Amino acid sequence: MAKQTVEDIKQLSDQRVLVRVDFNVPLDEKQNITDDTRIRAALPTIKYLCGKGAKVILVSHLGRPKAGPDDKLRLAPVAAKLSQLLGKPVAYAKDCIGPEVAGAAAKLRAGDILLLENVRFYKEEEKNDPAFAEKLAALADLYVNDAFGTAHRAHASTEGVTKYLKGYAGFLMEKEIKFLGQLLENPARPFVAILGGAKISGKIDVIENLLAKVNTLIIGGGMAYTFFKARGVEVGKSLVEEDKIGLAREILKKAIDRGIPLMLPIDHVVADKFDANADSRIVTRAGIPADWQGMDIGPETITKFGHAIKKAKTIFWNGPMGVFEFAKFSKGTTAIAEMVAEATGKGASSVIGGGDSVAAVEQAGLAGKMTHISTGGGASLEFVEGKTLPGIACLRDK
């Protein structure tokens, strides 16, 4: 799936380059950016293009505007933050198409940067409207996609513009394709996948695809309780997707048929209610009281999962082991993060697959000790499912 990147573009000097970035950053009530990780992730591509004399036009979405422009979702704070991070001015357009934007793009000089307004202020963006995509494309000579987090969406700014401009991958996109691609195509073995989170419904295809790839599959978090119900084990008031019990049973059978160890918790931290300060206790797998619910994996499970993680040469992790937002029930998730970091330090390749697992790794202060942290939750899952991501498929092949 190798794609041509910005380094494959022979002529960048004085070329206007439309760059799709993912600046969907969290803002507080005063429009201050509370986490600039996504902006920093785009810096290598932006700096490279500017350094080659390109005229850089950045396009992004922010949040989910419901009906046109929303002052709370404007990209002005992002322009200010980007300017600060780059140490140079970043021009900001108050629209993303139209005569004024075209004029601003035309005035750019080599190395200049222009950030367009939130592209989702137009409903045509998510509809991948050809006329809207053509208007965006008309601003530039070339197109670069560095927004992996939106690559699973066929929108005007992620897929539609490549009908009018040659499309290349940015450095962040290239990195995502490389590390996630290795998981599916040529992982060092043993390959251990760790899946957690609340539900299996969003991860069925991931489990199905990984069962054909991994040496061991570890399942924790709320989704484990649906598997316990499939085995006839009572789980009290723990989260269970009743309509997925049959599917969980099929997955368990497939793992047995393929000889793949599917590891579930052997003990749990349970609580009398879903609350940060609930009464809690540690129980065995079959010992969850009727009025209690599972909130985290227990110490014996941490040890058991740890044995598999320590032997791994490739690790993919998506989803926490418990309600890690509550400090009292975060020990399991933190322990897994520490063990994955330790295995990475001893030569294993670790890929953290977006979403809450990234938040957990960052909360534990271990992000820098992982091989790769994916910037796309839904996109990384769909990639690992083996699906074609439209925002990648439309880029030029090597």
- 285 pLDDT more than 80: no
d(CA 95, CA 125): 13
Whether 388 maps to a domain, the answer reads no
Q: Are 357 and 220 in contact (CB under 8 A)?
A: no
Give pLDDT, residue 85. 97
> Same domain for 234 and 313?
yes
Alpha helices per DSSP H over the chain:
37-51, 76-86, 99-106, 123-126, 130-137, 171-185, 204-211, 224-230, 245-258, 299-311, 331-345, 356-363, 377-385, 390-393
* pLDDT mean over 254-281: 96
Q: Are residues 100 and 194 in the same domain?
A: no
Lowest pLDDT segment from 110-114, 294-298, 383-387: 383-387
Whether 123 and 183 map to the same domain: the answer is no
Q: 């399991």: which residue's tokens?
A: 332
Residues 230, 303 within the same domain: yes
Does 48 share its domain with 143?
yes
Are 86 and 215 members of one domain?
no
pLDDT at site 295: 97
Q: In the predicted model, is pLDDT for residue 53 greater than 70? A: yes
Per-residue confidence (pLDDT) for residue 57, from 0 to 100: 98
Residues 73 and 150 in one domain: yes
Domain span at 160: 6-172
Our count of domains for the chain comes to: 2
Domain shared by 134 and 239, yes or no: no
Helix (H) or strand (E) holding 20: strand 16-20
Same-domain check for residues 197 and 311: yes
Rounded to an integer, what distance in angstroms lies between the CA atom of residue 353 and that of residue 14?
A: 37
* Average pLDDT of every residue of the chain: 94
State the CATH number of the domain containing residue 127: 3.40.50.1260
Residue 32 domain-assigned? Answer: yes
| 1 has a pLDDT exceeding 70 | no
pTM (2 d.p.): 0.88
pLDDT class of 331 with cuts at 50, 70, 90: very high
Residue 384 domain-assigned?
no
Domain boundary among 131, 156, 172: 172
- Is 215 part of any domain? yes
Q: Does 395 reside within a domain? A: no
Decide if 175 contacts 372 (C-beta within 8 A).
yes
Q: Are residues 45 and 121 in the same domain?
A: yes
Q: Which amino acids are annotated catalytic?
A: 38, 199, 355, 378
